[in-house]
Amino acid sequence: MGSIANAFSSSIGKKLIMGLTGLFLISFLLVHCFLNCFVFFDKTGVLFNEGAHFMATNWIIRAMEVVLMLGLLLHIVQGIRLTLENQAARPVKYAYNDGNANSKWYSRSMGLLGTLLLMFLVVHLSDFWIVSRFTGIEHFNGGTPVDASGHEDLYAVMLAKFSHPWRVILYVLAMISLAYHLLHGFASTFQTMGWNHKKYTPIIKTMGVLFSILIPLIFALMPIAIYFGLGL
């Protein structure tokens, strides 16, 4: 077991943790995005609330939620650790370093993008997750905390939140950050896990680009659509 323990403390092991937690978070994004797409298909919000209800009550999902939080925490802690270590590996900086000549700015800015995403998450989680899990939905705009089918009306909460332009802008900016974070992170994860192959790597890279653009785009469309009342 010693070899496994010291594997994770090595540079490659640390990278593996980043990659695996990253991949896990990517899979979460996919589920999250899929469920949230209900907003586009049901103006009453019943479908969306049903989905939310399922997510809130299914014990497997609830258990996974804990895992997700731990994974996110690990991703953040490891990210901070790696950033600090990597900065220490070059105590004297270059007077002039032309990074754009050999790499993409976002691949060099994962820490910054991650920090932006973390800040967004604080807002996002307090907007919805804390409300739905802990504090409960308040009565606002004279509405009721439940929808037509008796589920907690998270949809109404969303409509209310996205009526503020600053929040819409914040969410859109956050999704741009997410897109760039994924643009590097997606393919990088596979490289870290050693999945570099002449035949498959180009496919993975293309998938990565598609995923990085599509998922954040869909997420960003939600506040925009709600704010402008487009089709909702």
Partner 1 sequence: MSTGNMNLTLKVWRQKSTKDKGQMVDYKVSEISPDMSFLEMFDVLNEDLITKGDDPIVFDHDCREGICGMCSMFINGRPHGPKDAVTTCQLHMRSFKDGDTIVVEPWRAKAFPVIKDLTVDRSAFDRVIAAGGFISVNTGNAQDANALPIPKAQADAAFEAAACIGCGACVATCKNASAMLFVSAKISQLALLPQGQPERYKRVQNMVAQMDAEGFGNCTNTGACEAECPKGISLENIARMNRDFYAAKFISEEEG
Q: Determine the interface stretch with partner 1 among 25-33, 55-63, 69-77, 90-98 (rule: CB under 8 A).
A: 90-98
What would you report as the CA-atom Rg of the chain, rounded to the nearest whole angstrom? 20
Contact 154, 128 (CB under 8 A): yes
CA dist., res. 106 & res. 112, Å (int): 9
Which range, of 38-46, 80-88, 123-131, 136-144, touches partner 1 by CB under 8 A?
80-88
Measured CA to CA, the distance from residue 132 to residue 159 in angstroms comes to 15
Q: Answer whether 205's CB lies under 8 Å from 28's CB.
A: no
Instruction: Mark the segment that binds partner 1 (CB under 8 A) among 43-51, 53-61, 89-97, 122-130.
Output: 89-97
Task: List binders of partner 1 among 190-209 (CB under 8 A).
Answer: 191-196, 198
Please give the C-alpha separations between residue 62 and each of 51, 57, 127, 157, 172, in angstroms, as whole numbers: 14, 7, 19, 21, 28
Residues binding partner 1: number (CB under 8 A): 44
115 binds partner 1 (CB under 8 A): no
The answer to the question of residue 12 lying near partner 1 (CB under 8 A) is yes
Q: Which stretch binds partner 1 (CB under 8 A): 113-121, 125-133, 144-152, 181-189?
A: 181-189
Q: How far apart are CA 27 and CA 91, in angstroms?
A: 36
Residue from the set 177, 188, 216, 227 that interacts with partner 1 by CB under 8 A: 188
Least spacing, CB of residue 92 vs partner 1, in Å: 5
Nearer Cβ to partner 1 (154/178): 178
For residues 11 and 78, the answer to whether their CB atoms sit within 8 Å is no
Using rule CB under 8 A, residue 14 touches partner 1: yes
Among 103, 144, 149, 206, binds partner 1 (CB under 8 A): 103
- Are 224 and 172 a contacting pair, CB within 8 Å? yes
Stretches 24-32, 69-77, 172-180, 186-194: which one binds partner 1 (CB under 8 A)?
Answer: 186-194
For residue 10, state whether it binds partner 1 (rule: CB under 8 A): yes
Q: Shortest Cβ distance from residue 16 to partner 1 (Å)?
A: 7
Which residue, among 39, 37, 31, 35, has the nearest Cα to 68 in the 3D structure? 31
Distances (CA, A) of 117 to 53, 98, 141, 147: 26, 26, 30, 31
Binding residues (CB under 8 A) for partner 1: these are 2-4, 6-7, 10-16, 82, 85-86, 88-99, 101-104, 107-108, 110, 184, 187-188, 191-196, 198
